[in-house]
Structures are given as structure tokens and as C-alpha cells.
Amino acid sequence: MAERRRSVGNDAPDGDSGDLNGARILIVEARFYEDIADALLAGATRALEKAGAVFDRVSVPGSLEVPPAIAIAADAAERSGRPYDGAVALGCVIRGETLHFEIVSQESARALLDLSVARRLPIGNGILTVDTNAQAWTRARPEEGDKGGDAARAALSLVRLKRRVATR
């Protein structure tokens, strides 16, 4: 007897399939490197708008503050009866001469993943972890690396998956 398989994955990785219209997305951006944050935000908002998602934006000082800000905002949205479908984390950590880089980059990534899994909240991680300012710019600019857009598309991909499996 042949086994039937159904795909529940993402058929439209660019977020342009139309099934995301009205998705509520939270963007939390770390503003420590303001210009880089602006470039990441430009890419993320472009991707969300293309997909028809609506979004709120919250700014925090640095990348370690991004995960708790997502948790706080998600709780408030849930209490108000307007939960977020997903979130996009944006920020930049540039290597310095101390262990601070390792702590911030590893702990922010760990906290985002823990938060996403524990709450089943799709989160796109757009926190850059780089050695130099030049590397950050190459990754942040929407016309080059577009890591802000990539983070938004990752979150949208998971939102799409969550919607598809919820209707089966």
C-alpha cells in the first residue's frame, strides 16, 4: 500500500503568496547602531508590506533587550485580544576586544529561540553578529545582504506554516 504524504511546508518562501494578508507582526529593533538598525528595518518593513502583513515597531537600546521586549509586547497583545502572529528581531552586535560580543550574540540568539519554541511564536532572527562595521553594512543594506528582509521572510514562513497546520 502506498503511503500518502502531504506537504505542510512553505510553498512561497518570499512571502508573496497572498495567504499572509493581515498577519500581525511585531518588529523589535535594537538601536545601538542606529544607521545599521535603519537599514535592517527598511528591509524588514519592505518584506512585510510585500506580504500584506501589518506590523508594530518597538525600539530597545541593545540586542539583549530584544527578547524580553518581544515577550512583554506579546503578553500585552494577547491580553488585549489582538495577539501577534509573529515577530522580527533586529539588531547588530559587532565584535570588540572583550567577551561582551560572545555573551550578547549567544544569549540574544538563545533567548529568541527559547521564546519562539516555548510560546510557539514565529520569530525571525535578524540580529547581526559580525566582526566589523563593514560586514554589518554588507549584511544590513536591503540592496545587498537584506538580513532585515530575510528575518521578516523567515517569520512569515513560520506564520504561514502555523496557519496551514492549524487548519488541518
Find the catalytic residue in 21, 78, 100, 131. Answer: 100
Q: Could you tell me the three cell numbers for 109?
A: 540568539
Give me the pLDDT at residue 166, please: 84
SS3 43: helix
- 100 classed as catalytic: yes
Per-residue pLDDT of 2-19, as tens digits, reads: 444 444 444 444 444 557
Question: Domains plus CATH for the chain?
Answer: 24-166 (3.40.50.960)
Q: Within a 10 A sphere around the Cβ of 143, how many other Cβ atoms?
A: 8
Has residue 52 got a pLDDT over 50? yes
Phi, psi torsion values for 68, nearest 5 degrees: -65, -30
DSSP letter at 80 equals T
Has residue 145 got a pLDDT over 90? yes
- Assessment of whether the complete model's pTM goes beyond 0.95: no
What mean pLDDT do residues 40-53 have?
Answer: 98
What mean pLDDT do residues 106-116 have?
Answer: 98
Has residue 151 got a pLDDT over 90? yes
